[in-house]
Structure 1
Amino acid sequence: MNDSPVVRTSASSQTGHRFRYYDFVMAAFVTVLLLSNVIGAAKPTFITISGEQWIYGAGILFFPLGYVIGDILTEVYGYARARRVIWAGFAALLFMAFMSWVVVSLPPAEGWEGQAAYESVFGQVPRIVAASIVAFWAGEFVNSYVMARMKVWTQGKALWSRTIGSTVVGQGVDSLIFYPLAFWGIWEPAVVFTVMATNWLLKVLWEAVLTPVTYLVVGWLKRREGVDIYDEDTDFTPFSTST
């Protein structure tokens, strides 16, 4: 399949246009979002630095990939289509939380001995689930908004400044919402702020490390789709799913 010439265009001129790879990027976003919450969220692990163990949640290795894909969505397809994907992810998280609650609550069949392990993995504290969903929603929309606005401000130059800058703000909002909502009153305030700052920093650094990959994917998608979209006249309300 030959690449198309890349044409600069406004987001509004692409309303209703069907892109070749948009659905695949959406599927990747939702997949990473769900799996990072299901598989990685419940397991603490550690890394040894200078002989000292640093404990962190395993999900941090993959959850930031959602922000990377979110950056790619906004950069390639514009804010409106990224907004649609964020709502899809939000709905998927709600369904996952509901399904987990129902399945864990069902009585186990006689002779099945996996209920305790199942509850350990899939049982969720409602407060933490609610905090996670709200933080995701707010953080992703802020991330996409900053990404789209910075693209216009920079005239499409210095992609790295947009990906890292939007992550600094978006992950900051995510962390500021999630950790106090989930753990205030359970952990000591100093622990809440320490974990919040540490995880925010790790996520931003992870985004910076993945910047070369973002460049490759963004360049490839733009050539295949044939457009470079700018949100110059976009309605940035989050409460819509129109493109």
Structure 2
Amino acid sequence: MRYLDLLTALFATVLLTSNVASTKLVVLGPFTFDGGTLLFPLAYIFGDVLTEVYGYRKSRRVIWTGFFALLLATLTFQAVAALPTPQDGESQRFGEALRLLLGLTPRIVLGSLLAYFAGEFANAYVLAKLKVRTGGRHFWLRALLSTLAGQGLDTGIFLLVAFYGVWPHEVLLAVFLSNYVFKVGVEALMLPVTYGVVGFLKRAEGMDAYDRDTDFNPFRLA
């Protein structure tokens, strides 16, 4: 498995970068979403590639690796933002800027972690099950269906945990729809690239895993 370590590193990088970028809201045409949404769909594309080529077992380990990397980064950012800074004006300005950028509220931290966990495992589970059911055919359909499930859970859980009771219901619904449509749209547009990467990895690794007897318990790492 020559490329699994590289894919794991890229997957974790996407998670950490999108988590920091999510502190800013952006508007593109009719869509309103956090900045992390621009990059985060790649995490689900990586998830599709990992499960399709290496199987659910390997994908599960990568998902947990990303989870602990995200948890470590988040706790570090929270601790640094909370620590006092020197009293001179420049240090105070930098400290306040850091708190605004990285000092996320506990609800946002919890929502981000829960959403990632549920969404990524749902994506991997649906893709692996459908691969066995279809005999490995129709990857485009399996990738889209798994993304619909995973991104739906991810987006919904995050918004409910982080912002329910803070934003009006109509704002929550509008942000959910914007995020969901954008993320699934990116997955659909990237399908030709995803096909190419999957084909290359299957040939290079000599692997095409089928999870026929897999224990899908997300907490089983052995």
* Common fold: TM-score over 0.5: yes
The count of corresponding residues between Structure 1 and Structure 2 is: 219
Quote the residue 1:46 is aligned against: 27
Residue 194 (structure 1) shift: 2.1
Which is further off, 68-77 or 194-203?
194-203
Shift of 1:122: 1.1
Correspondence 1:1-243 to 2 at 5 A: 19-38=1-20, 40-48=21-29, 54-111=31-88, 112=91, 113-242=93-222
- Alignment gaps of 5+ in structure 2: none
In 2: Cα distance, 1:169 partner to 1:227 partner: 26
Q: Which has the higher strand share?
A: 1
- Partners of 1:119 and 1:63 in 2: how far apart? 23
Which residue type is aligned with residue 226 of structure 1?
G
Partner-residue secondary structure (3-state), 1:45: strand
The alpha carbon displacement at 1:101 in A equals 1.1
Segments of 5+ residues of structure 1 without an aligned counterpart are 1-18
2:81·2:102 contact (CA, 8 Å) conserved in 1?
yes
Greater per-residue helix proportion: 2
RMSD over aligned Cα, in angstroms?
1.2
Judge conservation of contact 2:32–2:178 (CA < 8 Å) in 1: no
Q: What is the CA–CA distance in structure 2 between the aligned matches of 1:235 and 1:97, rounded to whole Å?
A: 30
CA contact (8 A) 2:33 2:178 kept: no
- 1:16-44 per-position Cα deviation (integer Å, ceiling 9, x unaligned): xxx11111111111110111101x20112
TM score, norm. by length of structure 2: 0.95
Contact 2:32–2:175 (CA under 8 A) maintained in structure 1: no
Q: For each residue in 1:139-192, what CA deviation from the matched residue of structure 2 results, as whole angstroms up to 9, or x when unmatched? A: 100000001011111111111011111000111111221111111111111221
What amino acid sits opposite 1:93 in the alignment? L
| Per-residue CA distance 1:58-110 (angstroms, 9 max, x = gap) | 21110010000011000010000000011111111111111011111111134
Larger RCO (alpha carbons 8 Å, 6+ apart): 1
Paired letter, 1:240: R
TM-score, normalized by length of structure 1? 0.87
**What letter corresponds to residue 56 of structure 2 in structure 1?**
Y
The percent of aligned pairs where both chains have the same amino acid is: 47
Structure 1 segments of 4 or more deviating over 4 A? none
